[in-house]
Structure 1
Amino acid sequence: MDGMESKIALKDRRAFKIAFIAALGVFVIGSFFIGNSKGTIEIDIQRILEVMMQDDGSTERMVIWNIRLPRMILAGLVGINLALSGAILQGVMRNPLADPSIIGISSGAGLFGIAILVAFPQYQQFVIIAAFFGAMLAAFIIYALAWRSGIQTVRIVLAGVAVSALFGAGISGTLVLYSDRVQGALTFMNGSLSARSWPEVQTILPYTIGGTILALIFAQKLNILLLGDEIARGIGLNVEATRLGFTALAAILAASAVSVVGLLGFVGLIVPHTIRMIVGSNYKYMLPASALFGAGLVMLSDTFARTIFSPSEIPVGIVMAVLGVPFFLYLLRK
């Protein structure tokens, strides 16, 4: 009887997780339409659907199709990438405070990306590649500094803070050397979706699709890593190769996001942690839930950043910092 009740409880928990993921899908759709409806010109949902379906040459069509629609899609893709990157890093490093921006991976991507943008603008097509190498370099340095007979949470956080400061200084130095081009880099530094459109969507979309598919396919390996290195090796997992592969995946997800919107922090911290408290640490459920929540959160945050001081707007990175810093301090205190 007890065994039967346990199986029923297990099914109920699984049903709850699936229902929660479905609810997050509704949350993403709602965030998408809120973002498309709000602004200097208010457009209701029915009208949004009409102008998306048919080109009637109206002002609403131009606003939706050329400005708001690509911006909301891009916000969602960036949210997915950063949320998945944070979730993967937390699993690989077994550190609940791991986040691309906090431990320096975003700063590494940012330094290499901004170097291309301000020093070699004629090679902008290589920004994502450069950002990826910067992110991987940051991850390698963090591992080298934090490793001593294994990885521990405190050493990763301290190493990450040091690496973030190092690359942050590099970014500042680059901007000083190319001060005549600093204006274009300010939005990059603060993380902004302003003036972003379809080209940026096309840039990040393949990385989002590929990264999401790979993360979901290999989610079980992340679950095994959580058991500890010795147990994982006993099961037959090549721990170091798996950790390196996931680190590279997290780096490319973060780098692709950084390359199109700049240094947008705390998404990879807030989202996985919130999702973990609701659905648990099983990456089979945690990854899709994190992706959906990340997409909706960045959409809503960008809508708020765009409309709170309308007609002026603030970078979405500022909104995420306002949300993320208290959250980080709360986790650190715990």
Structure 2
Amino acid sequence: MADYMPLEKQNRTGSLLFLFSASCIALIAGILFSLKWGQAQVSWSTLFDALAYRAHDKVHLYIQTLRLPRTLATCIVGIQLALAGLLTQLTTKNPLASPHIFGINAGASLAVVFGLVAFANLSLYGSMLLAFVGAAAGALLVWSLGGTGNKQYVRLALGGIAVHFLLSSLTEGIIILNQYSTESMMFWLVGSVSQAGWPEVQAILPFFIGGLLLLGFMMPSFRLLLLDDEVASGLGQRVSIVRAAGIVLVIVLAGSAVSICGPIGFICLIVPHIARALVGGKLTVLVPMTGLLGGVLLVYSDLISRAIAFPFESPVGIVTSVIGGPFFIYLARRKGRSNR
């Protein structure tokens, strides 16, 4: 028995290393294919010359100024949305929770669209600020509907869905009433990374780095959210403060991502479940795997979206919805059977 446990631990470590290595290779391969494939044909040698900044002709500048920032923004947004989904599920103790379903993404979208209509020359940082305000307002509204008590998490789910549809309807109403000034937003509202450039990468990078650092710093505290509230409180921990910090981090990660690429659906929901099925529920392993798989899924979804109506662009949100819709139905049915 004493020899069996170390062997089991070695097998577990080996499988985790394999999964992380495979995920990293898949992400790197997806980034390279995203940089190479598009309307303009690019050879591998030209691509590597452009990445090394060894040449500055038209093709190299095309890769450096258009494809490279778009791919980096796609990877960053995928990581942020996946981690925001994991934190939402932890803080609400609901496996079907996500910023998209709980009104956070819808609140950010409504604020950005309203800002576009109200302010003629809305800057990138202005839209990000509005996205944070809208995401925070959506989260507070949903949380206020949850109340307290044993049924809090059920009410949070129902209130989140209601708030999501309410805010989405208001967004659509603003667009209908201001068609000329919001015509360019239709692509963005479905979820699109086609317009992401170096300014967007520079704008989101501080929130990405700061969010990851805060998540790493708060990791020991977030482990309390895996316990029952009564047990964690009995251990002398302030569960409400930890949960509030988690919601703030969700707003930072999801709000900044939505301001850049729109409310891309289902990344927040499905990636944490895939990561949990692969590596288990230990947060020190689950968090990095969730981030990796979020980047992988969105990078490859962007590649697929380019092929749908090639050579024209399609919103990446179409692909994530096609993937995530059936997965959400499967999760809901499995959750219902487990409750019965």
The TM tier, using the shorter chain, reads: over 0.9
- The aligned runs of 1:182-201 (5 Å cut-off) are 182-201=182-201
Q: Which amino acid aligns with 2:244?
A: L
After superposition, give the CA deviation of every residue in 1:135-183 in whole Å (9 maximum; x if it has no partner): 1221222222223404555333211110101111221222233222121
Q: Report the 3-state secondary structure (helix = DSSP H, G, I; strand = E; otherwise coil) of the residue aligned with 2:183.
A: helix
Equivalences for 1:1-334 in 2 at 5 Å? 2-124=1-123, 125-150=125-150, 152-334=152-334
Q: Give distance in 1, aligned partners of 2:311 and 2:150.
A: 52
Give yes or no for contact 1:105–1:136 (8 Å, CA) kept in 2. Answer: yes
Which SS does the other structure have where 2:196 is aligned? Answer: coil
Q: C-alpha separation between the residues in 2 aligned to 1:296 and 1:257?
A: 16
What is the CA distance between 1:332 and its match in structure 2? Answer: 0.7
- Distance in 2 of aligned mates of 1:90 and 1:330: 17
Whether the 8 Å CA contact 1:102–1:160 is kept in 2: the answer is: yes
Determine helix, strand or coil for the equivalent of 1:61. Answer: helix
Partner Cα distance (1:51, 1:232) in 2: 53
Q: 1:45 to 1:290 in 2, by over 3 A?
A: farther
Deviations along 1:18-67, one digit per CA (max 9) or x if unpaired, are 43223211111011001111112232433311121134233320221111
Further displaced range: 40-49 or 228-237: 40-49
Partner Cα distance (1:84, 1:187) in 2 = 24
User: Following the alignment from structure 2 to structure 1, what is the Cα–Cα distance between the partners of residues 218 and 157?
Assistant: 26
**1:78 is matched by which residue type in structure 2?**
V
The two structures have a TM-score, normalised by structure 2, of 0.93
**Contact persistence 2:305–2:313 (CA under 8 A):** yes
The answer to whether the 8 A contact 1:102-1:161 is kept is: yes
Amino acid across the alignment from 2:85: G
Superposed displacement of residue 6, structure 1: 2.6
Q: Distance in 2 between matches of 1:67 and 1:317?
A: 20
Q: Which runs of 5+ in 1 are unaligned?
A: none
Aligned residue for 1:54, secondary structure, equals coil
What percent of counterpart residues are identical?
34
Deviation, 1:71, is 0.5
Q: Residue 90 of structure 1 contacts residue 99 of structure 1 at CA under 8 Å; is this kept in 2?
A: yes
CA distance in 2, matches of 1:10, 1:121: 60
Partner amino acid, structure 2, of 1:60: V
Provide the aligned C-alpha RMSD in A. Answer: 1.7
Structure 2, gaps ≥5 residues long: 335-340
Is 2:49–2:55's contact at 8 Å kept on the other side of the alignment?
Answer: no
Residue 338 of structure 2 corresponds to none
Report Cα offsets for 1:55-107 as digits up to 9, x if no partner: 42333202211111111000001101101100111111111111111221100
| Residue type at the aligned position of 2:318 | I
Equivalent pair of 1:118/1:185 in contact (CA under 8 Å)? no
One-letter identity of the residue aligned with 1:297: L
- Contact between 1:82 and 1:257, CA under 8 Å: does it hold in 2? yes
In 2, Cα distance between equivalents of 1:120 and 1:74:
25
Maintained 8 Å contact 2:46/2:60: no
User: How far did 1:11 drift?
Assistant: 4.2
For residues 134 and 176 of structure 2, the distance between their equivalents in structure 1, rounded to whole angstroms, comes to: 20
The residue matched to 1:57 in structure 2 has which SS? coil
* Change in 2 beyond 3 A, CA 1:62/1:6: same
Distance verdict in 2 for CA 1:151–1:260, change over 3 Å: farther
What is the TM-score with the length of structure 1 in the denominator? 0.94
Q: How many residues align?
A: 333
